[in-house]
Amino acid sequence: MRDLAGKTAFITGGDSGIGLGVAQSLCHAGMNVIICGVVPETLQSAQRELARIGKAEAIELDVRDREAFAALADRLDRGYGGVDVLVNNAGVGFLAPVAEATFEQWDWVLDINLTGVFNGIRTFLPRMLASGRPGHIVSTASIGGLLGTPGALYVAAKFGVVGLMEALAAELWDTPVNVSVLTPGIVRTNIHKGPPPPGEPRPHAPGATAEADLHETAIQPREVGERVLQAIREERLYVLTHAEHRELLARRFDAILASVPTDQGDPRRAAVERTVLANPIYDEILTAAEARQ
C-alpha cells in the first residue's frame, strides 16, 4: 500500500511504546491516526503528541471487549469512511514459568495478546474487504513468537499471533488486503509498567542479562515504527527488528529440519501434503529476496 496520505489507521496500544512509535510514523506519512489504550492519561498525552504531527484521535478501548470494538468500527465508518490500516499491537508482558502460572494468568495473557488480535481482525477485516480498497493489517507478535524464549505463556500467545498472520496472508492472497507480523526483540518501552496480571506472580527478569545492558542495547520504538511503515508500503509479511536474531532463528529452523524423518518419503503423499500445506507467501518472499540480491 504505497499511497497512505489521507488514509486512516487504527492502532491498539497506540498510546505507548511500540504502538506510539508506529502511530508517529503513520502520522508523519500523512495518515489519520486513531489510537486506543486502557490508560486515559497516557491516551491524552499521546494524542497531544501526535496532534503536533498530524490528525490524531485517542479512544479508550480494551481489546478484550468485542462489543466496544464493533461500536468503534461503526464510529470509524461514520467519521473516516472506514479503516485502511489496522495495527493490532496492544499487549502485556508475562515471564513467570508454567509451573508457577495460574489458569487466570493464562487466560489474561492469551485474552489480551492473542484473542485481542483476533478481535481486531474479526471486527475490521470484513469491513475492509467490503470496501474494496487496498488495506493492510499489522499484528505485533515478538521474537518470542518465532523462538521458544523465556515466558512460556507469553510465547504461546505470540506464536499464535505469528501463525494467525501467516495463515491469514494465505487466506487474503487474492484480495487487496495485505498483512504483516511484527516480531521485535527488546525495545525500550513501558511494558514492565503495564497492567498487572491477576494474582501475585513473583517478578521474573528476562534471562540473566545485566539490567544496564538490557536497557542500553534496547532499540527505540520510533525505529520499529519506521520498519512497520516500510513493511506496509512494501507489503512485507515479516517485520524483524534485530540483525542479531539471524543466528538464533537459524538454530531453531536447523533444529527442526534436523528432526525431520530422513527416509525418502512417498511421492504421492508428498503431493497431497504439499497441496494441503503449501503457503504461497513463503515462495513469494524468497523470490523477492533473491531478486534484491
Ligand X SMILES: NC(=O)c1ccc[n+]([C@@H]2O[C@H](COP(=O)([O-])OP(=O)(O)OC[C@H]3O[C@@H](n4cnc5c(N)ncnc54)[C@H](O)[C@@H]3O)[C@@H](O)[C@H]2O)c1
Maximum CA pair distance of the chain? 62
Burial classification of residue 102, based on how many CB atoms lie within 10 Å of its CB (0-12 exposed, 13-18 middle, 19 or more buried)? middle
Q: Identify the bridge partners of residue 85 per DSSP, sorted by sequence position.
A: 9, 136
Candidates 66-74, 126-134, 187-195, 266-274: pick the segment binding ligand X (CB under 6 A): 187-195
**Do 109 and 154 meet the contact criterion of CB atoms below 8 Å apart?**
yes
Residue 175 binding ligand X, by CB under 6 A: no
Residue 92 binding ligand X, by CB under 6 A: yes
Ranges within 246-275 binding ligand X (CB under 6 A): none
Residue 50 binding ligand X, by CB under 6 A: no
Candidates 37-45, 122-130, 244-252, 270-278: pick the segment binding ligand X (CB under 6 A): 37-45
Which residue matches cell numbers 508457577? 100
Residue 39 binding ligand X, by CB under 6 A: yes
C-alpha cell at 70: 464493533
The size of the interface with ligand X (CB under 6 A), counted in residues, is 28
Q: Where are the alpha helices (DSSP H) in 136-279?
A: 152-171, 211-217, 221-234, 245-257, 267-277
C-beta of 177 vs 181, nearer to ligand X: 181
Residue 189 binding ligand X, by CB under 6 A: yes
Shortest separation between residue 62's beta carbon and ligand X, angstroms: 4
- Looking from the CA of 240 toward its CB, the CA atoms found within 13 Å total 12
Residue 195 binding ligand X, by CB under 6 A: yes
Residue 134 binding ligand X, by CB under 6 A: no
C-alpha cell at 289: 529476496
Helix (H) or strand (E) holding 239: strand 238-240
Q: What single-letter amino acid sits at 143?
A: I
What is the distance of C-alpha 144 from the center of its chain?
12
Residue 149 binding ligand X, by CB under 6 A: no
Residue 197 binding ligand X, by CB under 6 A: no
Residue 112 binding ligand X, by CB under 6 A: yes
Residue 90 binding ligand X, by CB under 6 A: yes
- Looking from the CA of 179 toward its CB, the CA atoms found within 13 Å total 27
Active site annotation includes 154 = yes
C-beta of 24 vs 140, nearer to ligand X: 140
* Chain residues in the site for ligand X (CB under 6 A): 12-13, 15-19, 37-39, 62-64, 89-92, 112, 140, 142, 184, 186-187, 189-191, 194-195
